[in-house]
Amino acid sequence: MERKSFPYKNSLISFLHFGMGPNIAVCFHGYGEDASSFGFLDKYAGNQYTFYAIELPFHGQTEWNEGLLFSPEDLLQIISTILRQNPGQDPENEAPLFSLVGFSLGGRAALALYKAIPHKIEKLILLAPDGLKVNAWYRLATQTWLGNRFFSFTMKKPAWFFGMLKVLNKLKLVNASIFKFVNFYIGDAEVRKQLYTRWTTLRKLKPGLQKIKQQITHHQTPVRLLYGKHDRIILSSVGKKFQKGIESYCTLTVLHSGHQVLHEKHSGEIIAALDK
């Protein structure tokens, strides 16, 4: 496994390169994680795939200095630069076909990239992906000026939000998993700052699900959805709704797992999704 980086505009993009197989897979990690989350795939599929695991802005060792904005165009340019470094690839030629693997937040990045270049994607593997449902709170906090100002204020002074969350939890309007999840990300000042920075920066990665489903059908792109049976953060029912109308190309597998489906114990199912 080799860590690499390269300059992009005023920033430094970090990624992990591992595997020596003839097929190429570009991987995007989950929120608060880094490229090493995919490292176990080297052991199980390194002879079949060459993996490029990208570290998104304000994650891992990527140093993002372009302000609080990361666009689909930035993502496309970064991936194109990385794939031109592929062994045997002529830098002057177009990048080869490749598969996309995205976990949680990384699923949204994978969907945004697929929307931009569907003709270049061989397979789309989404592990408990964000992006298949438009979350009203996320949209308010990141897609509107007023909502983003309110989001910033709440991350600096979260007492009112804590109070509301506790009331909703007592009334059983918020399940225990969601309460624990939100409490973790709101309870620490540095974690709150990171949450605001990351969500705001990645706000332009908006999939556009209807268009993506049309592209999947047009390009006959195999799509593999993997969810955790006990996941209370991202539910498999969202995947089932997305699957409607594209059943010929899209399969859905539910694992005996919580949200963390990107784990070595699920390597068999992940590799099977890549191989199908």
Q: What is the mean pLDDT of residues 27-40?
A: 96
What does the pLDDT read at residue 259?
A: 92
Side-chain-side CA neighbours of 115 within 13 Å: the count stands at 22
What does the pLDDT read at residue 19?
A: 95
Range with lowest mean pLDDT among 65-69, 179-183, 254-258:
179-183
- What is the chain's mean pLDDT, rounded? 89
Query: Residue 199: is its pLDDT beyond 70?
Result: yes
DSSP for the chain reads -EEEEEEETTEEEEEEEE---SEEEEEE--TT--GGGGTTHHHHHTTTEEEEEEPPTTSTT-B--S-S---HHHHHHHHHHHHTTSTT--TTSPPPPEEEEEETHHHHHHHHHHHH-GGGEEEEEEES-SSSS--HHHHHHHHSHHHHHHHHHHHHS-HHHHHHHHHHHHTTSS-HHHHHHHHHHHSSHHHHHHHHHHHHHTTT----HHHHHHHHHHHT--EEEEEETT-SSS-HHHHHHHHTT-TTTEEEEEES-SS---SGGGHHHHHHHHH-
Q: pLDDT tier at 207 (50, 70, 90 boundaries)? A: confident
Q: pLDDT tier at 113 (50, 70, 90 boundaries)? A: very high
Top mean-pLDDT range of 13-17, 136-140, 206-210: 13-17
Phi then psi dihedrals of residue 217, to 5 deg:
-65, -45
Q: Tens digit of pLDDT for each residue in 43-78? A: 999 999 999 999 999 999 999 999 999 999 999 999
Query: Residue 12: is its pLDDT beyond 60?
Result: yes
What does the pLDDT read at residue 171?
A: 76
